[in-house]
Chain A
Amino acid sequence: MDYQAFLIKYGEIALKGKNRYLFENALVDQIRWALCPVDGDFQVHKEQGRIYVECQSKEYDYEECLEALQRVFGIVAICPVQILEDQGFDRLKEDVVNYMQRIYPGCTQSFKVHARRARKSYPLQSMEINALLGEAVLEAFPGTHVDVHQPELLLNVEIRERIYVYSQEIPGLGGMPAGCNGKAMLLLSGGIDSPVAGYMVSRRGVSIEAVYFHAPPYTSERAKQKVVDLAAQISKYCGPIRLYVVNFTDIQMYIYDKCPHDELTILMRRYMMRIAEHFALKDKCQGTITGESIGQVASQTMQSLAVTNQVCSLPVYRPLIAFDKQDIVDVALKIDTYETSILPYEDCCTIFVAKHPVTKPNLKAIQRSEQKLKEKIGELVDAAVEGVEVIEIGGQLG
């Protein structure tokens, strides 16, 4: 194997003052978790403001490992590192030239050697190492030249117990490691938007739990399986997800019986928010997340959002609020939820949709309608909460 380690670069979290260690620990946890399914034996450790992933076993799957790291929030760049045994400086020169030959055969780019001497007992100083290694590279690659200000290629040489050589930077996802900024409850349907919303908020360092409302026999087992699959897919980024599956049929039927039909969707959404918030508070989430986007459907007009929002006490995060559908689809394609989202199973929001649902609901009118539910709705909500099914997705952080 050509690389024995990866140097993990993280941008934003390095700026966070005294909390920095919390962010770093969260990142290390997420990296360990992401590497669990990858073939190979990995050690993740942090030292001197850096995180290294070292591959303990000789054989590991480089591609898989890289893909896993590219799904971890908080990583700005991943540098594959070749680790050399310290066998004297002459040997180092040879090895560095070999490294260059392997990765940049016939190199003609400008370059700069950047040595860092973590092991201060090393006989040469950083400046000397820079100069001598630069000379060796120049000799081996006559077409290249040194540019210390804007090199096209930065060859890093770190003198530690062993010597770490790296030059490539593979971009990561950025953002912040999940878990360093708390936790939120995602309302997950089977659609395109909600998984994207969860992904986006999680990218800001938020752990995700999710709640799904199903309505058998109006929605099928497959619709539920689809949501489980979606949760599993975003958990590859967000880390483990606890999924609450709430049976919403009786509530839905009761509203259907008692209230004007064109208000059904908005009333349902109010009860969904209430139930989601119940589980959010129980699990100490600091907010809820929805995939709503202004004007996309009747229940997402400004007026409808206001009426739905009115039942929430926790902040509702709506990362897609100003996104066009195509922008959402683009993210869904990138995180590979799109194919699953478009499977044609009905979710409980669509089955009873009126031909002309209200698009400008009036809060007073909606509250009046809810009065009609007074008799039994409390009981039904309690029963739904009581009967919830909990599915843990993605195992646990190591």
Chain B
Amino acid sequence: MEVYLDHAATTWCCESVKEIVARTMVEDYGNPSSMHKKGVEAEGYVKRAKEIIARQLKAKEKEIYFTSGGTESNNLAIFGTAMANKRNGKRIVSTAIEHAAVREPVKRLEELGFETVILPVDSQGGVSVDALEEALNPDTILVSVMYVNNETGSVQPVERIAGIIHEKAPDALFHVDAIQAFGKYRIYPGRMGIDLMSVSGHKIHGPKGTGFLYVREQSRIQPQILGGGQQGGMRSGTDNVPGIAGLGAAVEEIYRDFDQKTEHMYQMKELLAQGLARMEGVLVNGMDVRLGAPHIVSASFMGIRSEVLLHALEDKGIYISAGSACSTHKRAGSSTLTAMGMKPEQRESTVRFSLCEETSQEEIEYCLEILGEIVPVLKRYARR
């Protein structure tokens, strides 16, 4: 049996995505910038995708800019804001649990002379709102807070944060990394007070190398990739028509029957989290099941290194992540878990299960059953 429980790392493409990607690669392969019919045809796909996304966000089409994915969206939001607004202020506020695609750009800005404030989180991964209020001043030009944490599934009160920001630092732009949240929550950035929002395609059954940045109409950001002036000059480069069309199809699909899907994921998550909590020496991390995101469960198997557990499960056809997929390239360990105050022994033993709307009860039960078999064995052979 093959059980893929690593949907926060990436997902498979759904059929409608595959179909439209293939079509725009082989048949309707034009360049939207071309003046002839082929170009117009291709432009239609881009326009259609933009319509779908704009409708889903209750936003305007011109507020959507396609990128190569979440990382580029985050980079564009952060550097774009800093460069366009550096005369208005120097302060940039972010959190201790951001993904590297936010953390590293912020770090670079600090090297460039910006003043950065990193907000702490509590042991469940919630950002301290008090600390935020304290950090905001009139010199603040950007606040970047992730919606759903990729490692623990912790959720930030984005709307409330937006309110505080716009009250205390009216000139600051509020960027939300919604890469793990989009498709799991209904997000209406305009109504929620979000100025910039990053989304990735491959986390919602779209193609890899796709994504977009929502930029509220009045927000001023500076383009970071210059060239032929595509997308109104905000992001040059020939439009990735297959990717964009695929992304549009994925967005359409993921929000169909949204409430049932979310409820189903929560039920599966509950089943998994409860099963894990019953196992000896297993700690389930992060927020309560229904307060966290519907698809991520973080758990620590004390005494077992996460990598070993991962490979042992792999052997049984179950695929999970150690911490988060993106942090395994570095040995340094997860900064999210560190920020939550987790001790190194626990961090080294922490894995992430992540579900999708198709994850079945049978799969969760199989996973729990296998864990019940292998965990005692692995524990016996711990490093002493």
Q: Give the B-binding residues of A (Cβ under 8 A).
A: 216-221, 253, 256, 261, 344, 346, 351-355
Task: List B contacts of A217 (CB < 8 A).
Answer: 308-312, 314-315
List of 10 A-B pairs having minimum Cβ-Cβ separation, nearest first? A217-B311, A217-B312, A344-B331, A218-B308, A261-B384, A220-B311, A217-B308, A217-B315, A216-B311, A256-B381
Evaluate contact between B311 and A218: CB separation under 8 angstroms. yes
Q: B307: CB under 8 A from chain A? A: yes
Complex Cα spacing A220 to B307, Å:
8
- Contacting residues, chain B, for A351 (C-beta < 8 A): 308, 383
**Whole-angstrom distance from the CB of B306 to the nearest CB of chain A?**
11
Provide the residues of chain B in CB contact with A261, threshold 8 Å: 384
Looking across the interface, which residue of chain B has its beta carbon closest to that of A345?
Answer: B307
What residues on B are CB-neighbors of A354 within 8 Å? 384
In contact, B315 and A353 (Cβ under 8 angstroms): no
Determine whether the beta carbon of B381 is less than 8 Å from that of A216.
no
Kindly identify, within residues 341 to 384 of chain B, every residue whose CB is under 8 Å from any CB belonging to chain A.
Answer: 381, 383-384
Q: How far is the CA of A352 from the CA of B331 in the complex (A)?
A: 18
Give Cα A252–Cα B309 distance, bound, in whole angstroms: 17
B384 — which chain A residues lie within 8 A by C-beta?
A: 261, 354-355
Closest to A220 in B: B311
B interface, over-half SS: helix
Contact residues in A for B310 (Cβ distance below 8 Å) = 217
Residues of A within 8 A of B315 (CB): 216-217
By beta carbon, the residue of chain A nearest B377 is: A253
Interface residues of B in 308-334 (CB under 8 A from A): 308-312, 314-315, 331
Q: How far is the CB of A220 from chain B (nearest CB, A)?
A: 5
Query: Residue on B with the closest CB to A344?
Result: B331
| B307–A346 CB distance below 8 A | yes
Set of chain B residues within 8 Å of A352, measured between Cβ atoms: 381, 383
Residues of B within 8 A of A220 (CB): 307, 311
**Considering only CB atoms, which chain A residue lies closest to B310 in the complex?**
A217
Query: Which residues of B pack against A, CB within 8 Å?
Result: 307-312, 314-315, 331, 381, 383-384
Task: Identify 26 residue pairs between A and B in the complex whose beta-carbon atoms are under 8 Å apart, listed by A's number.
Answer: A216-B311, A216-B315, A217-B308, A217-B309, A217-B310, A217-B311, A217-B312, A217-B314, A217-B315, A218-B308, A218-B311, A219-B311, A220-B307, A220-B311, A221-B311, A253-B381, A256-B381, A261-B384, A344-B331, A346-B307, A351-B308, A351-B383, A352-B383, A353-B383, A354-B384, A355-B384
B66 to chain A, nearest CB (A): 33
Which residues of chain B are within 8 angstroms of A221 by Cβ–Cβ distance?
Answer: 311
Given the complex, which residues of B lie within 8 Å of A346, measured CB to CB?
307
Contacts of B331 in A (CB 8 A): 344
A164 to B140, CA, bound (A): 75
Q: Give 10 A-B pairs besides A217-B312, A261-B384, A351-B308 with Cβ atoms closer than 8 angstroms.
A: A216-B311, A217-B311, A217-B314, A220-B307, A256-B381, A346-B307, A351-B383, A352-B383, A354-B384, A355-B384
Chain A residue at smallest Cβ distance from B382: A352
Residues of A within 8 A of B311 (CB): 216-221
* Chain A residues, Cβ within 8 Å of B307: 220, 346
**CA A344 – CA B331 in complex, angstroms?**
7
Q: How far is the CA of A247 from the CA of B307 in the complex (A)?
A: 18
Q: How far is the CA of A217 from the CA of B381 in the complex (A)?
A: 12
Bound form: Cα–Cα A288–B48 in Å = 65
**Nearest CB to that of B312 among chain A residues?**
A217
Which residue of B has the minimal Cβ distance to A352? Answer: B383
Within the assembled complex, what's the spacing in Å between the Cα atoms of A352 and B305? 11
State the CA gap A346–B331 with chains docked (Å): 11
Quote the shortest CB–CB distance from B8 to chain A (angstroms): 20
Q: B145 CB to closest chain A CB, in angstroms? A: 31
The chain A residue sitting closest to B316, CB to CB, is A217
How far apart are the CA atoms of A119 and B171 in the complex, in Å? 89
Report Cα–Cα, A221/B308, bound state, in Å.
12
CB-defined contacts of A256 to chain B, threshold 8 Å? 381
A176: min CB distance to chain B, Å: 40
Give CA–CA (A271, B308) in the complex, Å. 23
Q: With the chains together, A204 CA to B191 CA distance in Å?
A: 74
Among A217, A219, A253, A352, the most chain B Cβ lie within 10 Å of the Cβ of: A217
How far apart sit A346 and B322, CA to CA, in the bound complex (Å)?
14
Q: How far is the CA of A220 from the CA of B310 in the complex (A)?
A: 9
Q: Which residue on chain B has the smallest CB distance to residue A353?
A: B383
The interface residues of chain B lying within 8 Å CB-to-CB of A353 are: 383
Closest-by-CB residue of A relative to B331 is A344
- Return A191 CB to nearest CB of chain B, in Å: 15
B322 CB to closest chain A CB (Å) equals 10
Q: Which residues does chain A contribute within 8 Å of B381, judged by CB atoms?
A: 253, 256, 352
With A and B bound together, what is the CA distance between A220 and B314 in angstroms?
10
Docked CA distance A346–B314 (Å) = 17
- Name the residue of chain B whose CB is nearest to the CB of A218: B308
With A and B bound together, what is the CA distance between A256 and B307 in angstroms?
A: 19
Q: Which residues of A contact B309 (CB under 8 A)?
A: 217
A residues near B312, Cβ cutoff 8 Å: 217
CB distance from A89 to the nearest CB of B (A): 61
Q: How close is A245's CB to chain B, nearest CB, in angstroms?
A: 15
Chain A residue at minimal CB-CB distance from B384 = A261
A181 to B42, CA, bound (A): 65
Report the nearest B residue to A351, measured CB to CB: B383
Minimum CB–CB distance from B326 to chain A (whole Å) comes to 15
In the complex, how many angstroms separate the beta carbon of A248 from the nearest chain B beta carbon? 13
| A261 and chain B: residue at smallest CB distance | B384
Return B381 CB to nearest CB of chain A, in Å: 6
Query: Quick one: closest B residue to A216, CB to CB?
Result: B311
Shortest distance between the CB of A323 and any CB in chain B (Å)? 26
CA distance A344 to B381 in the complex (A): 21
CB neighbours (8 Å) of B314 from chain A are 217
How far is B311's CA from A217's CA once the two chains are assembled, in angstroms? 5
Q: Which residue of B lies closest to A354 (CB)?
A: B384
C-alpha gap A221/B311 in the complex (Å): 9
Q: What CA separation (Å) do A355 and B383 show in the bound complex?
A: 9
> Once the chains are docked, how many angstroms separate the CA of A300 from the CA of B92?
52
The residue in chain A whose Cβ has the minimal distance to the Cβ of B328 is: A344
Instruction: State the Cβ distance, A247 to closest chain B Cβ, in Å.
Output: 12
Least CB distance, A221 to chain B, in whole angstroms? 8
Shortest Cβ distance from residue B2 to the other chain A in the assembled complex, whole angstroms: 16
Shortest Cβ gap from A50 to chain B (Å): 51
Minimum Cβ distance to chain A for residue B3 (Å): 16
A224 to B295, CA, bound (A): 32
Chain B proximity of A242: nearest CB distance (Å): 26
**What's the minimum C-beta distance from A279 to chain B, rounded to whole angstroms?**
25
State A216–B312 Cα separation when bound (angstroms).
Answer: 7
User: In the complex, A344→B307 CA distance in Å?
Assistant: 12
Distance in angstroms between the alpha carbons of A353 and B312 in the assembled complex: 20
User: Taking the nearest CB of chain A, how far is it from the CB of B373, in angstroms?
Assistant: 13
